[in-house]
Structure 1
């Protein structure tokens, strides 16, 4: 009863706000819902949990202490309300409910109500020009090609940010600049009378260029990383910091992490199209030697769009990997939160519609790979498929991972199946199907299979042998509705 009371109060609040504003403000509502079941066998290639951080001091729980429950039913509902004053000014509020059946909000008895805000931003244009400003909690991504879903540095997630976009040359050149506060651990007051650097701030600039048959977006970003920010609590530690920083900590109160790169899209040979990203990133270069992190990442994709019944695609990527030492820093490009992956690949957290328990969580940074996809397969009206093969091979020297594991044990910084050595590889296949029941209602099925080859000397006998006993696979089926 409590659950419905809270939901009713929320609905009344939104409708009340709409009624109060209707004289001068137009309210537009959009949203989506999805309900689906997932059967997933051998999460993390073992059927056991990975290691996880317990607090922001670096304490963690080891891998292989919990056993998977293979079947879950997930439900998510999102509602976006736009309060539009005129064509130049609006405010968006987005709320979300997401949980498994039988847990939390969706428990039959004594449910725990959980409604979260995932969007809350003001968007407006400056008077008499096309400069647009967006301020607040918003979806944010650094530049990337849609062929690869989103950015390998930071993509497809929420951030409290201020973003300014303005055209410089109409339909040819624009500029986007922004600031985001990713972490502010202690907010107004630090925990003692000694001030600490507990923020992670991101500044970025992009220059989208559009010419006939060619697009490119040169971009750069700088993150100012405080020593005492909550990297472990936010899940950023293993992607942003070096292994040396995990072991020895950071020396400087603040460090700069920076990235420079560009996206490329060539359509001059349409229906053959080409896509690429080139990025270099480095961080903590003025800190102690073991805290430094720097490296390259490149990807390339091509597709043929001249057929109505399918779109063949090929792709590949390469990234620098760790050398054999943890004392000289990391040779992998720093990241914040990746949302990269071609072809709906089962290996990566990318474009799956049925998002929870949807992939193996492999990290393309520190590896290279090749793949092929048959996208948009459609021989029957309203029915489409995608079939993707992906091979991934590690570029990390085993010594770096082995030394970290020997020192800490099974830890969250290096995870078997996510971070691959030069002697390890992954092979994956996914076949996904969508049937449009109505224009805005779809039945979706996503399937995936993955096989991994892992070194016992790197990960230990228990984890490596468990991964050899069976491959990982999933079948997810559900309904998605958009309105």
Structure 2
């Protein structure tokens, strides 16, 4: 629909004007705008596209069929409007527009093109009368706990979900509770496609217990997910890792081997972990996360998946001019075969990374087309960052180096690639064998033009080594033709 953005904004302001006229209602608006250009060479270490799913059957198209367009200009706008009835009751509506110049919504070539607007937040939030228990229902941001050193949780982090959550203080300033239910997928919605009912949902239940003591903070947490066999795992995106969907995150490689897919109509997945932060030795601070996850344990042996993920870091905050950090992580990887299931931790909507690393989709401000999209699960690595560098007023920098090494046996990936061909489950440059590594450097700069307006420069470089015997001559040889790098520059405005 043309000009829907204008209509939506007029509607929001009209609602705001009406609500402002009511004595009991206050309207608050916040938001941000980003306009930036990105030059990115050697996407996926090849300059070609990754393999991707084309149906839930599943079917897929192979890698290396499309060539990168190295320069894009992106524009993003988000508006969050809170309709506040009192300190205890409010409703939030968040809308967003995002596209490249010259295409779709924000276009230089055809300004009359149809406008695309999306709702990314829509929730009711209130406190139960007479206490501090807060209840939130609707489309909201859900982040599983992760220590402060890292961005996003490798199981589920940094994304929105239709959910009901309860946040309650159990012991003031010491112990809290966060519990909730969310529906991630409901493929057929009201009616299934035939007269026979099928399990086409993915539901998740989660619980966290934040504990705060002097000089110490820990948040143990757990998630239980019920995964229906007929949900759209292969066509629903689960993260912003390169071309990754729920299928790669949840199922095992053996799931694709005869007999294909799951035996059970529903499979249970569960995760348990804790984030840990130690500040007792301030200005030296320590961070860590420990997570174990498993799923489809009652299905065929080849469909089981389970594994560990651990990360750790330390920073020194005693200097005004910079904050040095070191970090690392380790996770289990695939063994020699696929018939005994997967040894990698399953995931839902992962989003993890340290130090704005160019290797991972993490905290980049100029987010689109911003990183290599590598998977930290099935790998280990180390890195260091010089953060919050400031030698001139209003100007800050960050420099990060990250090294990643695979933990997956080459045989498991090679056999599946031989069976399926170029496929989206194991992807070169995202999933590493135990004979492969990659390294990346990013240098980022921000200058505050005004208090709420900034000029941002983000740069990145990455180099990887990949096995011809696993990925084939065409992809592996192309990865040696040049290293990946990007330069992104733009303006960010918050209000």
TM norm. shorter chain > 0.5: yes
Q: What is the deviation of 1:252?
A: 0.4
Deviation at 1:261, TM superposition (A): 0.7
Distance apart, 1:12 and its partner CA: 2.0
TM-fit CA distance, 1:242: 0.7
Aligned length: 481
Aligned to 1:237: 247
Q: Distance in 1 between matches of 2:398 and 2:106?
A: 32
- Cross-structure match for 1:249: 261
Partner of 2:435: 423
Residues 175-200 of structure 1: CA distance to partner in whole angstroms, max 9, x if unpaired? Answer: 11010000000011100001000000
Q: Which residue of 1 aligns with 2:62?
A: 62
2:458 corresponds to: 446
Across the aligned residues of Structure 1 and Structure 2, the Cα RMSD in angstroms comes to: 0.9
Hey, what does 2:240 align to over in structure 1?
none
- In 2, the alpha carbon distance for the partners of 1:75 and 1:11 equals 17
Question: How many angstroms apart in 1 are the aligned matches of 2:321 and 2:19?
Answer: 48
| CA distance in 2: counterparts of 1:354 and 1:6, whole angstroms | 25
2:81 match? 81
Q: Any conservation in 1 of the 2:316–2:324 contact (CA below 8 Å)?
A: yes
1:246: Cα distance to partner? 3.3
- Displacement of 1:19: 2.4
In the TM superposition, residue 355 of structure 1 has moved relative to its aligned partner by 0.3
- Cα distance in 2 between the residues matched to 1:223 and 1:368: 26
Find out whether 1:374 has 2:386 as its counterpart: yes
**Gaps in structure 1 of 5+ consecutive residues:** none
Question: Which segment drifts farther, 52-61 or 389-398?
Answer: 52-61
Per the TM alignment, residue 49 of structure 1 is displaced from its structure 2 partner at its CA by: 0.1
Question: Which residue, 390, 412, 432 being the options, matches 1:400?
Answer: 412
Please state how far the C-alpha of 1:150 moved relative to its aligned partner: 1.2
What are the Cα deviations for residues 242-297 of structure 1, in whole angstroms up to 9, with x where unaligned? 11223410000000000011110000000000000000000000000111000000
The unaligned stretches of length 5 or more in structure 2 are 237-244
Question: Which residue, 121, 132, 154 being the options, matches 2:156?
Answer: 154
The answer to whether the 8 Å contact 2:440/2:460 transfers is yes
**Deviations 1:202-231 (Å, cap 9, x if unpaired)?**
001110000000000011110000000111
Question: Contact conserved, 1:376 with 1:384, CA < 8 A, in 2?
Answer: yes
| Secondary structure at 2:354 match in 1 | coil
- Aligned counterparts of 1:355 and 1:197: Cα–Cα separation in 2: 35
CA distance in 1, matches of 2:138, 2:256: 32
> How many angstroms does 1:145 deviate by?
1.4
Measured in 1, the distance between the counterparts of 2:296 and 2:127 equals 37
Give the TM-score taking structure 2 as reference length.
0.96
Partner residue in 1 for 2:242: none
The answer to whether the Cα contact below 8 Å between 2:253 and 2:425 also exists between their aligned partners in 1 is: yes
Q: For the residues of structure 1 that align with 2:154 and 2:9, how far apart are their CA atoms? A: 37
When normalised by structure 1's length, the TM-score is 0.99
- Cα deviation, residue 366, structure 1: 0.2
CA contact (8 A) 2:4 2:116 kept: no
Partner of 2:275: 263
Q: How does 1:315-326 map to 2 (within 5 A)?
A: 315-326=327-338
SS across alignment from 1:153: coil
Q: Hey, what's the Cα distance between the residues in 1 that align with 2:148 and 2:172?
A: 22
